[in-house]
Amino acid sequence: MVPTNYYVILSAILFGLGVFAFIFKRNIITIFMSIELMLNAVNLAFVAFSQALGKLDGQVFVLFVIVVAAAEAAVGLGIIILIARNRQTLNVERVDLLKL
Amino acid sequence: MPAHPILEYLWIVPLLPLLGSAVNGLFGAKWPNKIVNWVAIGSTGLSFLGALEAVREFFDYFAQNHETFHKAFFTWIAAGNFRADFDLQMDQLTVVMVLVVTGVGWLIHIYATAYMAHEGGYYRFFSYLNLFMFFMLILVLAANYVLLFVGWEGVGLSSYLLIGFYFLKKSASDAGKKAFIVNRIGDFGFMLGMFLLFRNFGTLDFVQLFAKADPSAFEPLWKFGALTVAALLLFMGACGKSAQLPLYVWLPDAMEGPTPVSALIHAATMVTAGVYVVARSHILFAHSETAMLAVAIVGCATAFFAATIGLVQTDIKRVLAYSTVSQLGYMFLACGVGAFSAGIFHLMTHAFFKALLFLAAGSVIHAMGGEQDMNRMGGLSKKIRWTYVMMLTATLAIAGFPPFAGFFSKDSILLSAFQNEYGGRNVGYTLYAFGLATALLTAFYMFRLIFLTFHGKQRYDEHQVHVHESPNNMLVPLMILAVLSTVGGWFAAPAFLPGGTDYFTKFLQPVFGGLEVAGTEVEAHSLEIWLAGVAFMIALIGAVVAYWLYLKRPEKTNGLAKSLKPAYATLLNKYYVDELYAVVVVRPLLWISTNVLWKVTDVVGIDGAVNGIARGTTAIGDGVRHTQSGNTRSYAVWVVVGAIVVIAIIFFWPSGGKPFLGMVH
């Protein structure tokens, strides 16, 4: 059986990659994907702890996260399509209308 | 049907004027004068009838129970062991006050309907006047100090509103403010007195408080026990309200108000509230020699002091104003020598004749088309004969000529002063001497007023002033008051007959205790006749001197004024008391207000704090707005940094082994 800390380390690496991409990528689609990556890294940690502690709480939580992520994807992709139509670009640096 | 319907619902008596005030104040602006009259006179008239019925029922009640009528209506304030209820009470003292207030008040309302007929703000005037009646009735009917204080402050408010009735006139609005502020000084003492009484006796209800205070030990001269201090503090309040030294300065200025106001508030009723409070608290005062002496000396000094100023004033209302201050001094003198019933007796007769004097003076002013300076009157007796007769009646009453009312009340005060036991006999003789001197001055300045106004040469331009007698609405109240000024003192008349008693004192006996003139009945009786003779002679001398100076040899007055120039100037300028107060109190206060309170506390402190907070907020916003760059990725960085900070806090917060916010085990 794979020890729990392996899962946790993998989860941390995935999360770190997600954060890194979230900050440094310019393409909105990529940023969106990095958010998904972070969510799934957390899901992995939840499942791993759930397995280690022998409780179902973590797995229940994962199901909720998946539901929320699906909703978020629907809304987020809608926004992205609107941005792409209006500004003819997917570069976040060009989306700065709220600048003071 | 209860046995005593009005007594059981005593609140109706004060409520009626309040209703009148509210109706006129809210709806009167658009009404013609006639409807305003009906509301104002109707409400006070009904209140007077209610008071009469209440008094009749009280006598019935008293005959059965031999005690003060006391009725609790509702709890007003209850905090800890402190209680102030809306309780009204009625005893013989209240009977006198309630009848004077509603009766004289009603007459003056009727008079005012004619006097004010051509003034703007007609409804406003009657609304205020009714409001005054309400508060005055609360004051005299209250069964505890707190409720009394409500009335006390309320009459001060009405007084302020009515003095400043012509508020576009600077002197009138200033006079209103002066009255209010000077009264506030007295009220400060009154409140401290209440606090002290509550601390010592745990109640402010008259019946309970006096029952608890009565067994206390007598406090001789210079011993400042609780009762002495409380009595002195209450007396301070009385000094403010009743215009005694050194707080009398507001009353002469209060003459800026319309004349009916001067008559009702600043002569007949409100200013006597101080005397009423001292008489009501007579148990406290009687336990302290110091307080009694203070009351007697202040009263006597004020009586004399104000009378001297009255000698030289030329404004007809100002003469009467100083005369009011002087007569109030008499009332306090009576209270101070233990003759509370004599003080209340003088309060009642004074209400009659001083209201009459003011209303008659108002009638003169009305006839002269607004002129108040006696130097521009003269020879009016033939033109306004009725007014003249009324004025003469009141003058004879105030100067103390028998058989008019003032003679009896003044005589009983002087007799009590003569027999005074507080502070030794010599104090009593001194008080008596000054009282007698005041009587002389009173007779002089009142007859001076009569001669200057009604006799001698005509000193006004007949083409400009159309002298005319006042309408009946004004004359009828004058006549009723003239009758009262004549017969009002006859309660005490039997005291001059062998074996007779003073019925007024006897009437108030349940309130003030035993008859003051007891024991040496026969000796006192002959003494009374002697003193009355002396007082009568003194009044006669005053009148004759005035006659000689102002009618026989009017040219002498100028010479006399010249030869006594310093004294004359001092009196004409009212002993420079207003100027003294301006230098000692008003200017330093203004200076502090301007330079400290305004320019430092307000501008630097309060404005500085408010503006500083506003400026600080702007500055912070100015700095922070740069974080909103519009760059989505920088927001992403902030989100990550925030998450890291939260995680760092959760892990590294020095929580002393306890879980931080219960998150980490």
Q: How confident is the model at residue B627 (pLDDT cuts 50, 70, 90)?
A: confident
Least confident window among B57-61, B205-209, B244-248, B460-464:
B460-464
Pick A92's closest partner by Cβ from B625, B628, B633: B633
Residue A22 lies in a domain: yes
Instruction: Check CB contact under 8 Å for B640 and A23.
Output: yes
Q: Which residues pair with B69 in a beta bridge?
A: B90
Instruction: Check CB contact under 8 Å for A96 and B636.
Output: no
**Element holding B350 (H helix, E strand):** helix B340-367
Residue A72 lies in a domain: yes
Instruction: Check CB contact under 8 Å for A96 and B633.
Output: no
Express each pLDDT in B39-49 by its tens digit.
999 999 999 99
From chain A, pick out residues whose CB is under 8 angstroms from the CB of B626. Answer: 100
Ramachandran sector of residue B180 (left: φ over 0; alpha: ψ -120 to 50; beta: rest):
alpha
Express each pLDDT in B53-77 by its tens digit.
999 999 989 988 888 899 888 888 8
* Domain span holding position A45: 4-88
Instruction: Select the residue from B633, B634, B638, B644 to test the A interface by mutation, using most A Cβ atoms within 10 A.
Output: B633
In the predicted model, what is the mean pLDDT of chain B? Answer: 87
As a whole number, mean pLDDT of residues A22-48 equals: 92
**Element holding A92 (H helix, E strand):** none
**What is the token pair recorded at B212?**
């608890």
Nearest chain A Cα distance for residue B612, angstroms: 25
Rounded Cα distance, B415 and B410, in Å: 9
The CATH number assigned to the domain holding A31 equals: 1.10.287.3510
From chain B, pick out residues whose CB is under 8 angstroms from the CB of A31. Answer: 636
| pLDDT score at B661 | 57
Nearest chain B Cα distance for residue A63, angstroms: 22
Residue A46 lies in a domain: yes
From chain B, pick out residues whose CB is under 8 angstroms from the CB of A37. Answer: none
As a whole number, mean pLDDT of residues B2-7 equals: 81
Residue A77 lies in a domain: yes
Instruction: Check CB contact under 8 Å for A93 and B625.
Output: no
Query: Phi and psi at residue B315, in whole multiples of 5°?
Result: -80, 125
From chain A, pick out residues whose CB is under 8 angstroms from the CB of B629. Answer: 96, 99-100
CB B52 within 8 A of CB B90: no
Looking at chain B, the whole-number percentage of residues with pLDDT higher than 90 is 46
Instruction: Check CB contact under 8 Å for B632 and A19.
Output: no
Nearest chain B Cα distance for residue A44, angstroms: 19
As a whole number, mean pLDDT of residues B304-308 equals: 93
Instruction: Check CB contact under 8 Å for B631 and A23.
Output: no
Pick B632's closest partner by Cβ from A19, A24, A95: A95
Q: How confident is the model at residue B22 (pLDDT cuts 50, 70, 90)?
A: very high
| pLDDT score at B372 | 87
B-chain residue closest to A24, CA distance: B633
A31 contacts chain B (CB < 8 A): yes
As a whole number, mean pLDDT of residues B456-462 equals: 81
Looking at chain B, the whole-number percentage of residues with pLDDT higher than 70 is 96
Instruction: Check CB contact under 8 Å for B628 and A98.
Output: yes
Instruction: Check CB contact under 8 Å for B630 and A22.
Output: no
* Cα atoms in the Cβ-side hemisphere of radius 13 Å centred on B379: 9
CB B14 within 8 A of CB B43: no
Pick B640's closest partner by Cβ from A19, A26, A100: A19
Residue A96 lies in a domain: no
| pLDDT score at B294 | 92
**Element holding B71 (H helix, E strand):** strand B69-79
Distances in Å between the Cα of B375 and the Cα atoms of B86, B346, B361, B442, B456 are 51, 31, 14, 20, 11
Residue A31 lies in a domain: yes
Instruction: Check CB contact under 8 Å for A96 and B630.
Output: yes
A97 contacts chain B (CB < 8 A): yes
Nearest chain B Cα distance for residue A90, angstroms: 12
Nearest chain B Cα distance for residue A23, angstroms: 6
A95 contacts chain B (CB < 8 A): yes
Asked if residue B13 has pLDDT above 60, the reply is yes
Residue A93 lies in a domain: no
Express each pLDDT in B508-535 by its tens digit.
888 887 544 444 445 567 787 888 888 8
B630 contacts chain A (CB < 8 A): yes
A23 contacts chain B (CB < 8 A): yes
Express each pLDDT in B132-160 by its tens digit.
999 999 999 999 999 999 999 999 999 99
Domain ranges of chain B: 1-163, 168-572, 629-665
| pLDDT score at B422 | 80
Query: Number of structural domains, chain A?
Result: 1
Express each pLDDT in B480-510 by its tens digit.
999 999 988 888 777 776 666 778 888 888 8
* Residues in CB range of B399: below 8 A, 6 or more apart: B406, B439, B442, B443, B446, B447, B539, B542, B543
Express each pLDDT in B180-217 by its tens digit.
999 999 999 999 999 999 999 988 999 999 999 888 88
| pLDDT score at B67 | 87
Asked if residue A59 has pLDDT above 50, the reply is yes
**What is the token pair recorded at B261?**
């106001």
End-to-end CA distance of chain B: 78
Residue A38 lies in a domain: yes
- Taking the alpha carbons of B606, B612, B613, B618 in that order, is the dihedral positive or negative? positive
Count of pairs with CB atoms under 8 A, one residue in A, one in B: 33
| pLDDT score at B656 | 59
Residue closest to B267 by CA, chosen among B309, B327, B315, B182? B327
| pLDDT score at A41 | 95
- Predicted TM-score (pTM) of the model is 0.80
Q: How confident is the model at residue A98 (pLDDT cuts 50, 70, 90)?
A: low
Nearest chain B Cα distance for residue A68, angstroms: 19
